[in-house]
Amino acid sequence: MAVTLDVNGKTLNVNSPPDTPLLWVLRDELGLTGTKYGCGVAQCGACTVLADGAPVRSCQLPISAIGPARITTIESLGGSHPLQQAWVKLDVPQCGYCQSGQIMSAVALLNSTPNPDDAAITGAMDGNICRCGAYQRIRAAIKEAAAAPAPAQVVAAAKA
Amino acid sequence: MSAATSTTSRRELLKAASGAGALLVFARPQAGRAAARFVGEIGPFVRIDADGAVTIGCHVGEMGQGVSTSLPMLIAEELDVPFERVSIQAMPLHLARNARGQARSYLGAGQSTAGGSNSVRTGFIPLRQAGARARRMILDAAAERWRVPADELTTRAGVVRHPSGRAATYGELAAEAAKRREPVGDMVLKTPDQFSIVGKPQRHLDADRIVRGEPLFGIDAEMPGMLHAVVARSPYLGGKVATLDEGHGLGLPGVVALVPIPAADAPAPPLEPRSTPLAAGVAVVATSFWAAMQARDALRITWSRGPGAAADESSARAYADTWARMETTPGDVVRKDGDFAGLPASRARTVSARYEAAMVAHACLEPPNAIVSVDPDGRRAQAILATQAPDAAAATIARVTGIDPVQIDVTLVRMGGGFGRKFDQDMVAEAAIVAKAVRRPVKLVWTREDDLQHDLYRPGACHILDAVVAPRGRILGWRHRLATHSRVAGAAGDPAPRLTEYYPDGFPAGHVPNMQVEYHLLPSAAPRGAWRAPGHVVNAFAIECFLDEIAVATNRDPVELRLDMIGAGGVHSYMYLPQMPRRSFDTRRYAAVIRRAAEASGWGKPLPAGRGRGFAAHFTFESYVAQVVEVTVAEGRLRIDRVTAAVDAGMIVNPNGARAQIEGSINDGLSAALGQAITVQGGQVEQRNFNDYEMLRMDGAARRIDVSFIESREPPTGLGEPGVPPLAPALANAIFAATGVRLRRTPMLPDLRPVLAARTRKIPRR
- Per-residue model confidence (pLDDT) at position B108: 57
CB-based contacts of B381, cutoff 8 Å, min separation 6: B372, B373, B374, B375, B397, B401, B403, B407, B408, B409, B432, B435
Assigned domain for B244 exists: yes
Q: How far apart are CA B236 and CA B685, in angstroms?
A: 8
* The pairing of beta strand B159-161 with beta strand B154-156: antiparallel
Grade residue B490 by pLDDT with cuts at 50, 70 and 90: low
Compute CA distances B652 → A134, A139, B625, B718, whole Å.
Answer: 20, 26, 14, 10
Grade residue B277 by pLDDT with cuts at 50, 70 and 90: confident
DSSP designation for A59 = G
Whether residue B282 contacts residue B241, with contact meaning beta carbons closer than 8 Å, is answered with yes
pTM score over 0.95: no
pLDDT (tens digit per residue) in B234-267: 999 889 999 998 776 778 889 999 999 987 654 4
Query: How many other C-beta atoms lie within 10 A of the C-beta of residue B47?
Result: 27
B516 with B637, same domain? yes
Q: Starting at the earlier edge strand, list the strands of the sheet with B637-648.
A: B611-620, B623-634, B637-648, B705-709
Specify which residues B261 forms β-bridges with. Answer: B281
B492 with B617, same domain? yes
This model of the complex carries an ipTM of 0.95
Whether residue B634 contacts residue B610, with contact meaning beta carbons closer than 8 Å, is answered with yes
Classified as helix, coil or strand, B12 is helix
Report the residue of A94, A107, A126 to disrupt the B interface, i.e. the one with the largest count of B CBs within 10 Å: A94
How close A68 comes to chain B (CA, Å)?
A: 23
How close A3 comes to chain B (CA, Å)?
A: 16
Q: How far apart are CA B458 and CA B633, in angstroms?
A: 29
Q: How far apart are CA B72 and CA B244, in angstroms?
A: 51
The proportion of chain B whose per-residue pLDDT surpasses 70, expressed as a percent, equals 89
pLDDT at B676 over 70: yes
Estimate to the nearest angstrom the gap between the alpha carbon of B488 and the chain centroid. Answer: 17
- Per-residue model confidence (pLDDT) at position B345: 73
Specify which residues B319 forms β-bridges with. Answer: none
pLDDT (tens digit per residue) in B644-674: 999 999 999 999 999 999 999 999 999 999 9
- Exposed / middle / buried, residue A159 (Cβ in 10 Å: 0-12, 13-18, 19+): middle
Residues in chain A closer than 8 A to B449 (CB atoms): 40
CB-based contacts of A9, cutoff 8 Å, min separation 6: A70, A76, A160
Handedness of CA B561, B563, B566, B568 (dihedral sign): negative
Assigned domain for B765 exists: no
Q: How far apart are CA B159 and CA B169, in angstroms?
A: 4
How close B670 comes to chain A (CA, Å)?
A: 9
pLDDT at A103 over 50: yes
Q: Distance from first CA to last CA of chain A, Å, rounded?
A: 27
Decide if A133 and B664 are in contact by the 8 Å CB cutoff: yes
Q: How far apart are CA B212 and CA B16, in angstroms?
A: 32
pLDDT (tens digit per residue) in A13-69: 999 999 999 999 999 999 999 999 999 999 999 999 999 999 999 999 999 999 999
- Per-residue model confidence (pLDDT) at position B463: 98
- Per-residue model confidence (pLDDT) at position B446: 98
Out of B384, B410, B445, pick the residue that ends a domain.
Answer: B445
Mean pLDDT of B688-717: 97
B352 with B483, same domain? yes
B116 with B265, same domain? no
What amino acid is encoded at B457 in this protein?
Y
A60 touches chain B (CB under 8 A): no
By C-alpha distance, which of B543, B618, B537 is closest to B360?
B537
Classified as helix, coil or strand, B32 is coil
Decide if A134 and B691 are in contact by the 8 Å CB cutoff: no
pLDDT at B36 over 50: no
Whether residue B178 contacts residue B213, with contact meaning beta carbons closer than 8 Å, is answered with no
Classified as helix, coil or strand, B395 is helix
By C-alpha distance, which of B725, B728, B391 is closest to B532?
B725
Report the residue of B210, B384, B415, B531 to disrupt the A interface, i.e. the one with the largest count of A CBs within 10 Å: B210
User: Domain count of chain B?
Assistant: 3
Estimate to the nearest angstrom the gap between the alpha carbon of B675 and the chain centroid. Answer: 21
Q: How far apart are CA B676 and CA B671, in angstroms?
A: 7
Decide if A75 and B212 are in contact by the 8 Å CB cutoff: yes
- Largest CA-CA distance found in chain A, in angstroms, rounded: 46
- Per-residue model confidence (pLDDT) at position B251: 82
Residues in chain A closer than 8 A to B65 (CB atoms): 94
- Per-residue model confidence (pLDDT) at position B96: 72
By C-alpha distance, which of B7, B23, B18, B26 is closest to B390?
B7
B153 with B261, same domain? no
Assigned domain for B115 exists: yes
- Per-residue model confidence (pLDDT) at position B253: 87
Assigned domain for B715 exists: yes
Give me the domains of chain A, ranges plus CATH numbers.
3-75 (3.10.20.30), 77-159 (1.10.150.120)
- Per-residue model confidence (pLDDT) at position B11: 30
- Per-residue model confidence (pLDDT) at position B7: 35
Assigned domain for B1 exists: no
Whether residue B441 contacts residue B435, with contact meaning beta carbons closer than 8 Å, is answered with yes
What amino acid is encoded at B332 in this protein?
D
By C-alpha distance, which of B657, B533, B666 is closest to B597?
B666
What amino acid is encoded at B325 in this protein?
R
Query: How many other C-beta atoms lie within 10 A of the C-beta of residue B649?
Result: 29
The DSSP string of B83-114 is GGGEEEEEPPB-EEE-TTS-EEESTTS--SS-
B404 with B517, same domain? no
Return the minimum-mean-pLDDT range out of A16-20, A83-87, B227-231, B320-324: B320-324
Assigned domain for B451 exists: no
Highest mean pLDDT among A22-26, B114-118, B268-272: A22-26
Classified as helix, coil or strand, A134 is coil
B185 with B239, same domain? no
B77 with B134, same domain? yes
pLDDT at B276 over 90: no
- Exposed / middle / buried, residue B606 (Cβ in 10 Å: 0-12, 13-18, 19+): exposed
Assigned domain for B118 exists: yes
B37 with B117, same domain? yes
Decide if B364 and A131 are in contact by the 8 Å CB cutoff: yes
Range of the domain at B147: 10-211
pLDDT (tens digit per residue) in B158-211: 999 999 999 999 999 988 888 888 788 899 999 999 999 999 999 988 999 999
Q: How far apart are CA B408 and CA B9, in angstroms?
A: 9
Q: How far apart are CA A149 and CA A134, in angstroms?
A: 24
Q: Distance from first CA to last CA of chain B, Å, rounded?
A: 50
Q: How far apart are CA B395 and CA B731, in angstroms?
A: 41
Tell me which H or E stretch contains B65.
none
Handedness of CA B528, B333, B718, B132 (dihedral sign): negative
B423 with B466, same domain? no
Q: How far apart are CA B93 and CA B277, in angstroms?
A: 24
A131 touches chain B (CB under 8 A): yes
B695: nearest CA partner in chain A: A129
A80 touches chain B (CB under 8 A): no
Mean pLDDT of B126-139: 93
Q: How far apart are CA B388 and CA B405, in angstroms?
A: 17
Mean pLDDT of B610-637: 97
Q: How far apart are CA B712 and CA B586, in angstroms?
A: 14
Decide if A84 and B690 are in contact by the 8 Å CB cutoff: no
Residues in chain A closer than 8 A to B419 (CB atoms): 131
Q: How far apart are CA B382 and CA B9, in angstroms?
A: 8
B246 with B125, same domain? no
Assigned domain for B4 exists: no
Please list the alpha-helical segments (H only) found in B198-355: 207-211, 246-250, 289-298, 316-328
pLDDT at B272 over 90: no
Mean pLDDT for chain B?
Answer: 88
Residues in chain B closer than 8 A to A39 (CB atoms): 448, 689-690
Burial B744-763 (b: 16+ CB within 10 A, else e): bbbbbbebbeebbeebeeee
Interface contacts (A, B; CB < 8 Å): 190
| Phi, psi (rounded to 5 degrees) for B708 | -125, 120
CA geometry: angle B564, B567, B570, nearest 5 deg: 145
Q: How far apart are CA B609 and CA B437, in angstroms?
A: 66
> Which residue pairs from B685-689 have beta carbons closer than 8 angstroms and sit at least 24 positions apart in sequence?
B685/B237, B685/B452, B685/B453, B685/B454, B685/B526, B686/B314, B687/B361, B687/B452, B687/B453, B688/B448, B688/B449, B688/B452, B688/B453, B689/A39, B689/A40, B689/A41, B689/A43, B689/B448, B689/B449, B689/B452
Q: How far apart are CA A49 and CA A36, in angstroms?
A: 10
Q: How far apart are CA B214 and CA B201, in angstroms?
A: 24
* CATH code: domain of residue B283: 3.30.365.10
Grade residue A151 by pLDDT with cuts at 50, 70 and 90: low
| Phi, psi (rounded to 5 degrees) for A15 | -100, -10
- Per-residue model confidence (pLDDT) at position A1: 63
Whether residue B221 contacts residue B371, with contact meaning beta carbons closer than 8 Å, is answered with yes
Out of B172, B187, B211, pick the residue that ends a domain.
Answer: B211
**Polymer length of chain B:** 766
Decide if B206 and A93 are in contact by the 8 Å CB cutoff: yes
B706 with B747, same domain? yes
Q: Is B340 left (phi over 0), alpha (psi -120 to 50) or beta?
A: alpha
Whether residue B446 contacts residue B368, with contact meaning beta carbons closer than 8 Å, is answered with yes
By C-alpha distance, which of B191, B169, B208, B179 is closest to B69?
B208
- Per-residue model confidence (pLDDT) at position B107: 54
Q: How far apart are CA B293 and CA B93, in angstroms?
A: 31
Report the residue of B200, B654, B698 to disrupt the A interface, i.e. the one with the largest count of A CBs within 10 Å: B698
- Per-residue model confidence (pLDDT) at position A72: 98
Q: How far apart are CA B500 and CA B310, in angstroms?
A: 27
Decide if B698 and A36 are in contact by the 8 Å CB cutoff: no
Residues in chain B closer than 8 A to A134 (CB atoms): 660, 663-664, 667
